[in-house]
């Protein structure tokens, strides 16, 4: 989806699709022009992400402590509450792109296990606010520590600098992939 501008081999994104443009591509982010990777670079990244996704899926069950009764989805809800604080089920569901009924069932199970608690929302008594209990915070900390220890075993030849660099790039990639405010614009 790019259209040639005045300069040869310079392209800008537009909302209407125009095919066949694979040269220089740019986004305007706020007032800053940001160069995009080449198609070859993006293809290499796609292959790497596919391999990484496969490796994560095939090893994920090994990362969980043997004595945990929680599924990865439950841990994700606990992590969300630890990071974002107390919130409604609808906000949790929105953050994961899920239907609130799915998250509501998870929250009910987590509440029964004593890992989260629900209180009426002062702004709307029909809704409830969900927060971590001390037991939930402790369980999340224990599970997260087990994840980190297992990950250390998976990359024993990585030093802190390599780990930090990969973590920073991963966070940056996730933010780029989830950025809603980036609309294609003319250069």
Phi and psi at residue 21, to the nearest 5°: -100, 115
pLDDT in tens, the chain (187 residues): 333 333 333 333 333 333 333 344 555 455 566 667 788 888 999 999 999 989 888 877 776 677 778 888 899 999 999 999 999 999 999 988 899 999 999 999 999 999 999 999 998 888 899 999 999 999 999 988 888 888 888 899 999 999 999 999 998 888 888 765 443 432 2
Please state the domain extents for the chain: 72-141
Q: What tens digit of pLDDT does each residue of 32-53 get?
A: 666 677 888 889 999 999 999 8
Sequence-distant (≥ 6) Cβ neighbours of residue 156 within 8 angstroms: none
> Given this structure, which CATH class describes domain 72-141?
mainly alpha
Which residues are 19's β-sheet partners?
Answer: none
Distance CA 71, CA 83 (A): 18
CB neighbour burial string for 131-147, b if at least 16 within 10 angstroms, e if fewer: bbbeebeebbeebeebb
Quick check: pTM over 0.75?
Answer: no
Distance CA 79, CA 89 (A): 14
Q: What tens digit of pLDDT does each residue of 53-86 get?
A: 898 888 777 766 777 788 888 999 999 999 999 9
Distance CA 140, CA 75 (A): 7
């Amino acid at each position: 989806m790019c259209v040639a501008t005045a300069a040869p081999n310079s392209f800008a994104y537009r909302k209407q699709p125009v095919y066949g443009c694979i040269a220089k591509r740019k986004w305007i982010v706020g007032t800053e022009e940001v160069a995009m990777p080449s198609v070859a670079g993006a293809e290499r990244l796609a292959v790497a992400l596919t391999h990484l996704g496969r490796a994560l899926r095939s090893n994920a069950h090994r990362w969980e402590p043997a004595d945990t009764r929680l599924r990865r989805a439950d841990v994700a809800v606990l992590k969300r509450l630890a990071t974002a604080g107390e919130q409604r089920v609808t906000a949790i569901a929105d953050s994961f792109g899920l239907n609130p009924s799915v998250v509501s069932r998870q929250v009910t199970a987590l509440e029964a296990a004593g890992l989260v608690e629900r209180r009426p929302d002062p702004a709307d008594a029909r809704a409830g606010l969900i927060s971590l209990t001390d037991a939930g915070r402790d369980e999340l900390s224990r599970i997260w520590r087990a994840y980190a220890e297992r990950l250390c075993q998976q990359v024993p030849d990585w030093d802190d600098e390599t780990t930090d660099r990969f973590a920073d790039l991963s966070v940056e990639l996730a933010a780029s992939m989830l950025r809603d405010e980036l609309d294609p614009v003319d250069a």
